[in-house]
Structure 1
C-alpha cells in the first residue's frame, strides 16, 4: 500500500491502528522490555561514535597513558551492552512474533469454522489454505517492523546525527543531502509494489493449491494419464509466480544501488572535505574521526529506514488479506438471544419451503411434508431434484428463502445452529475421514464417548470386522481421508461416527451407495436397529434399501409429486416410484434396463 495517496494512507493508518489495538496491549510488557533493549542498542551505537574522538586525541595525539586503560574498557563495555541488548530484543520480538502467528492461526481457524457452507462452495479450499499460510505472518512483520524502526533505527539515526552535528555542522549538512532523493525514490517504488505483492501472493497460493489437489486426486490423475497436462498447467503457474516474484525483487532491491551511490557520494565528499581541512587548517583528527565513525554507523539505520516503506508495504498487504477473511460475516448467524433447540419427539416439518442457489434458478418450490417422530422417511427422485438440498437445509447449511422448517414445532432459524446440529447425526454420500486414528475419527461424533461406546458403534455399523484386521486395530492411524481403506470401509466408519453421536434425528444421504451387496445388507440391518426411536430421513439411491420406510417421498422439480408406503406407491402403475422400482428390479436380468436405471437414479 502506497503511503503517498490520501485514501491509501488512510487505509495504512487504519490497518496499523487495528493491528496495534489488537496486539499492543496484550504484549505491552514484552514490547516495553524490547524497546528498552533497542534504545540501548541505539544509545551504545551513538556512544561508540562519540568516544572515537577521545580515543584518537587522548591515545594517539596526546599519548595519555591512563587513557590506554580506561578507554578500551569503556569501548568493550559499550559493545557488551550493545550485544546483550541486541540478543534480548531479538529473542523477545521473535517470541512475540511466534505468539502472534499462533494466535491468528487459531483465530482464523475458529472463524473459518463459523463461516457458512456457501463460503467454502465459492472458494477452493486448497487455494484458501495456501493463501492463509502466506498471509498469516503479515501482522507479525508489521508490528516488528514498526517497533524496531521506531525504537532502534530512528533513535540510532537521531543520536548519530546529533553526534555528527555536534562534531561538525558543515559536514553534517553535506552528509544529510542524501536524504531527500532517496525518500522520493522510495515513494515511487512503494506505489508499484502493492499490486505486485498481491498478485504474487495469489499466484503462489494457486501453485500450492494445484499441488495439493493433484496429491489428493493422485489416483484419478494416474488413471486418466493426466500427469502431462497437469504438469503443463502447474508449470504455467510457476512461471507466472516466478516472474512476479522477480519483479518484486527488482522493485525491492532497486533501493540498494541508489542508496549506496548517493550515500557513497556523501561519505566520499565528507572524507575529502574533512581531510582537506585537517591537512590545510590543522583540524583535530579526533573530531573528524568521530564524525566519520558516526556517519558510517548511521549508514545502516538509514539504509533500513530507506527500505522500510517497501518492507512495510509487503507486510501490510499480507495483513490486509488476513483481515479480509476475518471480517467476513457468517450468512447463517444466530439471532441475538436465540434459545437452544429442545427435541422431545423429533418431528420434522417442511412448510412451503423454497430455495435456490442462484437467482431465478429455484431448486425447491413449495416443498411440504411431515417426517413423523420416531419414523423413517425416505426421499427419492431424479438427480438435481433437490434431495441433498433438503438435507442441507435441515442442518442450516443454508437458510430457506421461503417457508420454514420446524422440529417439534420450533422454527430452526430461531434456535442456535450448534444446538440444532447436536441433535442431528449425519452420514454423507461421500464419507470424509480426518487425520488421526480410527478411534479418533469415530469419537468425533461425540468427543466424550467412551472406548466401549465407540466399539459398540463400530459393531453396529459392521465396521469392527475390518478394524480388528488393521495393524493397530482401533488405534491404527489413517492416511489422508482414509486412503488406505476401501470406499465401503470409509462409509462404515462414517456410519459409526453418526451412531456414536446418539442423536434423536438421523440423516442418511445415500449412506449405503459405496457399499457392496454384502456390506449393504449388514449395514442396512445395523441402520434399522439404530433407527429405532429416532426420526430418520434417508435420501435413497437403491430402492431396495427403503422398502421398509414408514413413508416414501418422490421429489421431482423441487416438489413432492408422490408420497406413500412402498406398497402403495408400487400399486400406482403409472407413477414415478413404480417406474423406478420396475427398472431397478430388472437390472440384474437386462443390461439395457440397468443402463436406463442408472440414468434415472436419484
Structure 2
C-alpha cells in the first residue's frame, strides 16, 4: 500500500503581540522607592519567563483519551496574558450560582456572623442603661446578668456562623479549583506546549482562592461593616438626629480613596499574581532540572535567577504596599474628620446640658463604632480591587477558546485510517492565555511548518516517516493522533475530524512519544490508564509484546512496583517499553509510534517491532512509525521521506535504495555503514 504526499510552501504571517501595561508607584513615593530598590537594568523579564517545562502529562492524558477536551486558550512562553478585567458584579454572578444548594447555608452563616456586630452595638446600649441607673443596684445586677447571657448567646451563634462560612466557602473554593483544573486539563496541546505549567498551577491553586474569598470579603466583611454603620446611625438618631444625619451623609467618603484608586489596585493585583507564577516557575525548574543543573554545575545560575525573580516580586509587594497605604491614608483622614467633628459637636451639646451622662457615654462609643467600619470599608474595598486582578486570570482561563465537542459524524465508505487534506500548520510563538472576549493584536512571526500537506494512510497498513531532525515528522504524527490541530485544512481519523470532536476521534489512536510520561503510582496503574477494565492476563500480554514483562517481573513487587515522579526510577528504555505496553493494552485500531523505540538496544527493538508488526498484520491494525533508525522500519509498506517540512519521496525500503545518491540512501549509509547494494 502506498501513501501519496505533497507539500508546498506559503508565506508566514506577521502579527503583533500586546504586552501588559506596567504600573507605577504613587508620585509621592518615587524618591523613596528609587533609594530602596536597585534592579539590574540588563535583566530581561521576558527572557526569564521563557524557560518552559513541557506539559508531557497533558499530552499523555490526551493520547489515552482520559483527559477531557477543552480548548479555551492560547498559552504563552513568556507567561504574559490577555486577561479579562471582571467587575465585582460579574465576579459575584460567577460565584453565586456555584454555591448551589449551599446558598441558604451561606446566607445563614452571614446572618449568624452579624451577631458579632449586634454584640458590638449592645455595648453602648449597656453603657447608657448603666450610667442612667448607676444608683439602682438591683437593676444593675439584672442588667449585668442579662448582658452576660446575651453575650454568651451571641458568641455561640457567631461560632456556628463561622463554621458554616468556612464549610461553604471551602466547598466553593474546592469546586472552583476542580472546575479550573478541568478547564486547564482541556487546554489545547499546541498552546500548552508553549506554556509553563507553573502559570496554570498558579491560576488553579492561588488565583482561585483569591477569587473565591472575594465573596466573603464583600458579603461578610463589607456587609458586616455596613450593618454596624446602619445600627450605629439608627442608635444615633434616637440620641441626636442631627449628628446621625451628618454621619450618614458623609459615610460614603470612607470608600472614596479605594474607589478612586481601583484601577491601579486591580493592575498591581494582576502583576503580583503573574510574578508569583514566575517565582513558582523558577522553583519548579530548579527541582525538575536538578540533575541537569548539577551535571553542568549551574546551581549558582539557577539560584541567581530565582533571586532576581523573587526580588522582582518583592518590588511588586512594596509597590502594592504603597498603594494600600495611600488608600488607607485617604480613608483614615476622611474618617478622622467625621469622627472628630462628631465628638466636638457632642461635647458642645454636653456643655449645654442637652445630654444625660449615659447618652454621652453611649455616643462616644458609637463614634468609634463608626470610625473603625469606615477604615475597614476602605481597606476591604481595596482588597477586593486587588483580588479582581487575580480573578481576571481565572476568567481568562475559563473564557479561553476550547476545542469543539459536537456529536460525531460517521463518514460512510471511509477507507483511510488517517487522512490529512490541505493541512497548514505553524507553531504559535509568544501567544498568551487569551480570553475570547478580549481583542488582541499579536506582534510575532509564526513559522509555517506545513503547507498544503496531503497524507492518506490506508487501514491495516504499516507506514513510516523518516528524515533528518527538524523536518516535521513529529508534527505530522501529532496531527495524525489528533493532538495538534491544523490552522487550515482537515485531519480525519477513522473518518472523524478531531476539530469537531477531538476526544471522540482520539479514541481510535494509541500514541507513544519519544519521551513518555509515567504517573506516580504502580506499574499496573500506569498500564491501565487507557483501559481500566483490562484483566491481569491482558496486562501481561501487552507487556510481553512490548518486551517489558521480563524486567517488570525482575522488580521486587512486579506489576505493583511503585514508580517515582516522572518514572525517574526507571531507565529510558524501560519507560518507553511501558509506554508501548500501555498503548497496546488500550486496544485501538491505529498505533502511532513517534521515535518510541529510540532508547532501546538494537536486539530489543528488533524483537519488539517483530511482535508489533505481527500483531498489526494479524489483527488488521494501522501502524504509523516515526524513526531515525531506518532498520526499524524496513518492513513498512510505505516509507515517507521528509526534509525541511517537505515530503520529497515515498516508497518501500528497496525502492528508496535504488536512488543511490538520494537522501534515504545517505541516511541508510550513515546508520548501517554500508552503501546500498541495489
Same fold (TM over 0.5): yes
Secondary structure (helix, strand or coil) at the match of 2:515 reads: coil
Secondary structure (helix, strand or coil) at the match of 1:432 reads: coil
- 1:585 has 2:655 as partner: no
Partner residue of 2:226 out of 129, 147, 154: 154
Residue aligning to 2:363: 291
Residue aligning to 1:338: 408
Partner residue of 2:201 out of 116, 121, 129: 129
Residue aligning to 2:67: none
- 1:241 has 2:313 as partner: yes
Partner residue of 2:105 out of 26, 30, 33: 30
Task: Give the unaligned 5+ runs of structure 1.
Answer: 3-7, 588-592, 594-602
Matched ranges for 1:68-217 at <5 A: 68-149=140-221, 151-169=223-241, 172=244, 179=251, 182-217=254-289
CA contact (8 A) 2:86 2:388 kept: no
**Deviation of residue 421 (structure 1)?**
0.8
Residue aligning to 1:570: 657
Comparing 175-184 and 421-430, the one that deviates more: 175-184
For 2:597 and 2:640, locate their aligned partners in 1 and report how far apart those are by CA, in whole Å: 18
For 2:418 and 2:328, locate their aligned partners in 1 and report how far apart those are by CA, in whole Å: 69
**Deviation of residue 394 (structure 1)?**
1.4
Partner residue of 2:519 out of 434, 439, 449: 434
- 1:392 has 2:467 as partner: no
- TM-score w.r.t. length of structure 2: 0.78
For 2:92 and 2:176, locate their aligned partners in 1 and report how far apart those are by CA, in whole Å: 17
Partner residue of 2:506 out of 411, 421, 428: 421
CA contact (8 A) 1:343 1:504 kept: no
Structure 1 residues 522 and 293: CA distance shift in structure 2, 3 A? same
Residue aligning to 1:375: 461
Structure 1 residues 14 and 48: CA distance shift in structure 2, 3 A? closer
Structure 1, residues 162-182: CA drift from partner, whole Å, max 9, x if none? 112322345557867974664
Matched ranges for 1:252-331 at <5 A: 252-256=324-328, 263=335, 274=346, 278=350, 281=353, 283-330=355-402
Structure 1 residues 247 and 78: CA distance shift in structure 2, 3 A? farther
**Deviation of residue 357 (structure 1)?**
3.2
Residue aligning to 1:52: 127
Structure 1, residues 525-555: CA drift from partner, whole Å, max 9, x if none? 3333443321000011101111121221112
CA contact (8 A) 1:167 1:288 kept: no
Structure number, greater radius of gyration: 1
- 1:546 has 2:618 as partner: no
Structure 1, residues 102-146: CA drift from partner, whole Å, max 9, x if none? 111111122222221122033222222234322111331221122
For 2:452 and 2:330, locate their aligned partners in 1 and report how far apart those are by CA, in whole Å: 70
For 2:177 and 2:211, locate their aligned partners in 1 and report how far apart those are by CA, in whole Å: 11
CA contact (8 A) 2:254 2:335 kept: no
Structure 1 residues 480 and 24: CA distance shift in structure 2, 3 A? closer
| CA RMSD between the two structures | 3.1
CA contact (8 A) 1:433 1:481 kept: yes
For 1:364 and 1:529, locate their aligned partners in 2 and report how far apart those are by CA, in whole Å: 33
- TM-score w.r.t. length of structure 1: 0.87
CA contact (8 A) 2:257 2:378 kept: no
CA contact (8 A) 2:190 2:427 kept: no
For 1:526 and 1:217, locate their aligned partners in 2 and report how far apart those are by CA, in whole Å: 36
Structure 1 residues 181 and 413: CA distance shift in structure 2, 3 A? closer
Structure 1, residues 201-250: CA drift from partner, whole Å, max 9, x if none? 11111011111012111111111111122111111110110111122123
Partner residue of 1:222 out of 288, 294, 297: 294
Residue aligning to 1:590: none
Comparing 502-511 and 140-149, the one that deviates more: 140-149
Comparing 410-419 and 433-442, the one that deviates more: 410-419
Partner residue of 1:459 out of 544, 547, 550: 544
For 1:317 and 1:296, locate their aligned partners in 2 and report how far apart those are by CA, in whole Å: 33
**Deviation of residue 462 (structure 1)?**
1.6
For 1:402 and 1:258, locate their aligned partners in 2 and report how far apart those are by CA, in whole Å: 56
Higher helix share: 1
